Amino acid sequence: METTKFKFNLRRFTFSALILYLVFLLGPIVGLDIPAIAASIKANPLQLVQFLIIGISNGAIIAIIALGYTMVYGIIELINFAHGDVYMIGVFTSLTVLSLTGTLESKDPGKIIFGLVLALVIAVVFCAILNAAIERLAYRRLRNAPRLAPLISAIGMSFIIENIGLMWAAQAWLVPSFGTTGGASQKSFPDMLGILFTSMGWDINLLASTGIALRFTIKDLLVIILAVTLMTGLYLFVQRTKLGKAMRATAQNRDAAKMLGINIDRVISATFLIGGGLAGAAGLMAGLYNNTAWWFMGFRAGLQSFTAAVLGGIGNITGGMLGGFLIGLLASFSDGYLNARWTNALVFATLVLILLFRPTGLLGEQTGQKA
Amino acid sequence: MMKIIRPGITFGIIGGLLTFLFGGWSVAVIGCFMGLGLGLGLAGQFERKNPLELVKSALPTALIAGVILVLLSLYQSSVVQEAIGKRPTAEEIVAKGNLIGFLGAVGFSLLLVALHSLPEKQEQQWKIAVLALVVITFPFVDQASELRWTSQIIFALIFVILGLGLNIVVGYAGLLDLGYAAFFAIGAYTTGILSSPVHNIQWNFWLVIWIAAAMAAIWGLILGAPTLPLRGDYLAIVTLGFGEIVPVLFKNLIDVTIKEPLTCWILPMFGANTTCIVFTEHFDATLGEKGISPIGRPALPLIAHGEPAGAAMTIKIVIMLVAIAILGYLFWRAWSSGNRKPGVMAGFAGALAAIFIFFLPIPRTNNTIIDSVLGIIQPGEFESSRPVTWYFLIIGIILLSIFIIRRLRDSRLGRAWMAIREDELAAAQMGIDPVKTKLLAFAMGATFSGFAGAFYAAYIRGIFPSVFDFSASIIILCVVILGGIGNINGVIVGGLVLMTADRLFLPALKDFLAAFLKTTILPSISDPAVQLAVKDNANPILYRFLLFGLTLAIMMAVRPEGLIPNEQIRAELHEKEAVAEVEAPKSKKGKKG
């Protein structure tokens, strides 16, 4: 007995050592140059904290989008491929609202705050309706079709919405900063929060007075506060309200829920409405935080947040939040220490590894086998 | 009556509107293709009876289609062309083009309908003969009529091969692969690296195309293996992940440094003084965004005039002798076993001729006609300016692919794929090894994209990583879904329709819209900013992915089995409706799985 145990450990040790050796040998090909990373952390440890802050803020946005994925998957077991693009439409909607209300040129704090709140409300409502409309048009009739039909339809919807974004980004009469170069290029989203707080006479960096060489801005704080508020609200909604209870029931067993008198169509529409609304809010936050608007931004954001949802355990709301923060940190460290060009591949590799080795995710109970 | 006439009206209007975009001789070519489509569609609707009666019953449809086509085309050359400010077509061309178009539309449709009087097998053979005639003459007609469609049709044909390959994975084995373009990229990059001056390796295309296919197949196995435990949409997402990682790798492998870690870092950490072993440093493998170019082109014959005798020539001659020996053995076996049908004999003669065309340089004459024919049989190095040779090369690859895929489909392996698609658990219980079957599906599917990748790289003469991203995978999926999942003919039609729409229709529509707006709406707008906005927005090429998105969404909603469906898959897709009709009072059970 003893010997077998020892043998097992030895084999395991050799295996780990081999893997480690291969990581050291082949890692530099994909930018994973561990000695160089260690040296750069040693040289500037504060940078690590800085990447942590950026990662948490971006993770908050990813987490909110991930909630939309995880709720929809939980209730109808569909990867809503178009969800990332609904978020992109959220960015464009809020930018357009800010432009049309004249907020972009304004320096008056009151007017900016009014414009931002209006943009938030309109982006949330518009994206909620858009998401529900997608469900109504493309998914509902396929609810009893073979499993892959709605997924293919979702990919089609994603392409359609991306092209709507592409057209939108060419309309310089809506938003002057879209310019004359056509819709394909990345557009700037003005730093309204920076302008707001400078005009109010505040320093945007909260740590400026402490003398630490770090940036923790009001933007970071706002994004995190808004994200946590939305998540708590959603959690309470799903746990405490009647509609939330109906959602959980539908997710557990659609047929049984139907027999108990729950209107399935209404519950699913409500799920899409909430998911779309969250994506709209995330759109405004991401625009204000990262200051870019791009018709293709929904693809990367969508895949990052889908990975987050899978990492946390798809169908599990708490898991979606946790996964969002983790993926945000991963992306931020990869941008900082590896190279930004590898980040997408790294997120995908994470997704593949989770699906292969722990399809239930960190907190979930469903399995990939069920699919 | 209406049921018979309606397709005539639809075809006529579509064909006529297409002549609006292309003008010139296009009415003749469009008329012939319209006749083919109409004939193939109509023939199935009649009972088998004598040809005269068939022609009589199909005549009204064909005439209506032809008349509508010619009327619209005449309207185009007399009114529309002037309205959009295009140079008017010569009257002679208009007259001849419309006459040929009308005769083509009526003649081809009636011919195909009349063929329906034959027994089924003979009808098939005749249909294939008619189609072969059209396929062979198309590039020459295209050249003569100065439409210049061939070079774009070649792209459509590349996607036909890709669709056929993906059809093995998605259609036969039922595994939704959203990252199929990865194998296309692997085939193209294998070709690029092995036959371009960038790395000083310039191998022959005829060798490289097989290496590319083998490489794609190997990577199909490697990337397929981890996905085995997954099903349904999780499988789709993992393949999507691989499909995204592969182009990123090709894009970013521009600074490869491999150092042996023990000697470089681990031992020095403990104070040992070792020399660092460096395998490569700052090696640019794929040239990143710049892409690899130029890439070597195929050449026929393999042994050029005046090639110096040496190792290369010896190898080529040995290959030729081996090929002749294999052919001779097969011929002897067929002959001695009594298989002496004329079709088989013609096949052997064709194969022998192909070997000679491949290897023996035929001397040129000074006769222009003979030389132009020789130029097609033995073009020397393939030129980008002469798409005809490329066209026949890709047609050859497609025929080979169709042959292999049909044999595979009907083989034990093909039936195992379909069994896995229907019910993996039951198939495993019946003794089918799911691991082996699925892996072979991935590998075989990838092989054909390897062919396509090699051809693509040689045809474009350069490859860039952005070509192979997620949208490419989705375009290939679109081809399969539009045509009909699991049906070879369907995939071919889907690829041709979708890619000609993308490559020919959209650019022509863009030109048409631009000219139309210039003469009609734009002058009436006074504000230059609005004028610019209208002009920029009326560009359908910018929004070409809308075409693919709409294809996917609409097909899934309206006709999930595709234009030309596989009977079995259609039955499955409509199974629930049939069950619902029979068992109406029973509540439908939401099936998961």
Question: Domain check: are B153 and B137 in the same one?
Answer: no
Average pLDDT of span A356-361: 80
Question: Domain check: are B18 and B137 in the same one?
Answer: yes
The pLDDT value recorded for residue B580 is 52
Does residue B53 lie within any of the structural domains?
yes
Question: Domain check: are B109 and B241 in the same one?
Answer: no
Average pLDDT of span B301-311: 78
State how far the Cα of A274 lies from the Cα of A255, in Å rounded to an integer. Answer: 22
Residue A186: pLDDT band (50, 70, 90) is: confident
Question: Domain check: are B64 and B200 in the same one?
Answer: no
* Residue among A142, A182, A303 minimizing CB distance to B556: A142
B531 to chain A: closest CA residue: A173
- Residues of chain B positioned with their CB less than 8 A from the CB of A77: 592
Number of domains within chain B: 2
Task: Give the closest residue to A275 by CA, choosing from A65, A54, A114.
Answer: A65
Does residue B359 lie within any of the structural domains?
no
Average pLDDT of span B434-443: 92
Query: With 50 as the cut, is the pLDDT of residue A167 above it?
Result: yes
Query: With 90 as the cut, is the pLDDT of residue B72 above it?
Result: no
Considering A355-369, B119-133, B559-573, the range whose residues carry the highest mean pLDDT is: B119-133
The pLDDT value recorded for residue B331 is 92
Asked if B532's CB is within 8 angstroms of A155's CB, the reply is no
Does residue B57 lie within any of the structural domains?
yes
Average pLDDT of span B283-295: 81
- B204: tokens are 């022959």
Average pLDDT of span A165-186: 80
State how far the Cα of B478 lies from the Cα of B498, in Å rounded to an integer. Answer: 8
Query: With 60 as the cut, is the pLDDT of residue A263 above it?
Result: yes
Average pLDDT of span A275-280: 94
pLDDT in tens, A222-261: 889 988 999 899 989 988 999 999 998 998 888 899 899 9
A141 touches B at CB < 8 Å: yes
CB crowding B483-510: b at 16 or more within 10 Å, else e: bbbbbbebbbbbbbbbbbbbbbbbebbb
Average pLDDT of span B354-368: 81
The pLDDT value recorded for residue B588 is 39
- The chain-wide mean pLDDT, for chain B, equals 84
Asked if A352's CB is within 8 angstroms of B234's CB, the reply is no
- Residues of chain A positioned with their CB less than 8 A from the CB of B176: 148, 151-152
Query: With 90 as the cut, is the pLDDT of residue A277 above it?
Result: yes
Ranking A254-268, B103-117, B266-280, B579-593 by mean pLDDT, the lowest is B579-593
Does residue B450 lie within any of the structural domains?
yes
The pLDDT value recorded for residue A109 is 85
pLDDT in tens, B481-521: 888 888 898 999 999 999 988 888 888 888 888 888 877 77
pLDDT in tens, B192-214: 989 888 888 888 888 899 999 99
Question: Domain check: are B107 and B180 in the same one?
Answer: no
Neighbours of A236 (CB within 10 A): 11
Q: Which of B147, B179, B195 is the last residue of a domain?
A: B147
Question: Domain check: are B139 and B113 in the same one?
Answer: yes
The pLDDT value recorded for residue A365 is 61
Residue B590: pLDDT band (50, 70, 90) is: very low
- The chain-wide mean pLDDT, for chain A, equals 85
Residue B47: pLDDT band (50, 70, 90) is: confident
Q: Residue holding tokens 């039955």?
A: B571
A11 touches B at CB < 8 Å: no
pLDDT in tens, B151-162: 899 999 999 999
Q: What is the DSSP string of B192-257?
A: HHHEEGGGTEE--HHHHHHHHHHHHHHHHHHHHGGGTT--HHHHHHHHHHHHHHHHHHHHHTTSEE
Residues B265/A21, Cβ–Cβ less than 8 Å: no
Q: Which of B101, B125, B147 is the last residue of a domain?
A: B147
Question: Domain check: are B440 and B554 in the same one?
Answer: yes
Residue A7: pLDDT band (50, 70, 90) is: low
Query: With 80 as the cut, is the pLDDT of residue B130 above it?
Result: yes
The pLDDT value recorded for residue A274 is 93
Task: Give the closest residue to B361 by CA, choosing from B289, B430, B307.
Answer: B307
Asked if A359's CB is within 8 angstroms of B234's CB, the reply is yes
Task: Give the closest residue to A275 by CA, choosing from A73, A55, A57.
Answer: A73
Percent of chain B with pLDDT over 70: 96
Q: Is B430 helix (H, G, I), strand (E, B) or coil?
A: coil
Question: Domain check: are B497 and B524 in the same one?
Answer: yes
Does residue B350 lie within any of the structural domains?
no
A149 to chain B: closest CA residue: B556
Question: Domain check: are B133 and B164 in the same one?
Answer: no
Does residue B307 lie within any of the structural domains?
no
A29 touches B at CB < 8 Å: yes
Query: With 80 as the cut, is the pLDDT of residue B80 above it?
Result: no
For residue B78, give its domain range: 1-147
Mutate to test the interface with A, among B178, B222, B237 (most CBs of A within 10 A): B237
Average pLDDT of span B245-264: 81
The pLDDT value recorded for residue B213 is 95
Residues B534/B521, Cβ–Cβ less than 8 Å: yes
Does residue B313 lie within any of the structural domains?
no
Mutate to test the interface with B, among A29, A85, A139 (most CBs of B within 10 A): A29
Q: Which of B147, B173, B207 is the last residue of a domain?
A: B147
Mutate to test the interface with A, among B169, B260, B506, B556 (most CBs of A within 10 A): B556
Query: With 90 as the cut, is the pLDDT of residue A34 above it?
Result: no
CB crowding B264-303: b at 16 or more within 10 Å, else e: bbbeeeeeeeeeeeeeeeeeebbbbeebbbebbbbebbbe
Question: Domain check: are B475 and B539 in the same one?
Answer: yes
The pLDDT value recorded for residue A6 is 58
pLDDT in tens, B224-247: 888 888 877 788 888 988 998 898
* Residue among A28, A172, A183 minimizing CB distance to B258: A28
CB crowding A189-215: b at 16 or more within 10 Å, else e: bbbbbebbbeeeeeebbbeeeeeeeee
Question: Domain check: are B428 and B465 in the same one?
Answer: yes
Chain B nearest C-alpha distance from A348 (Å) = 5
- Residues of chain A positioned with their CB less than 8 A from the CB of B525: none
Asked if A173's CB is within 8 angstroms of B232's CB, the reply is no
A145 to chain B: closest CA residue: B573
Query: With 60 as the cut, is the pLDDT of residue B313 above it?
Result: yes
Asked if A151's CB is within 8 angstroms of B236's CB, the reply is yes
Sequence length of chain B is 593
Question: Domain check: are B506 and B434 in the same one?
Answer: yes
Average pLDDT of span B388-392: 89
Does residue B141 lie within any of the structural domains?
yes
Strands (E), B251-339: 256-259, 278-283, 299-300
Average pLDDT of span B59-82: 83
User: What is the rounded end-to-end Cα distance, in angstroms, of chain B?
Assistant: 44
pLDDT in tens, A278-316: 999 999 999 998 888 888 889 888 988 988 998 888 888
- Residues of chain B positioned with their CB less than 8 A from the CB of A28: 257-259
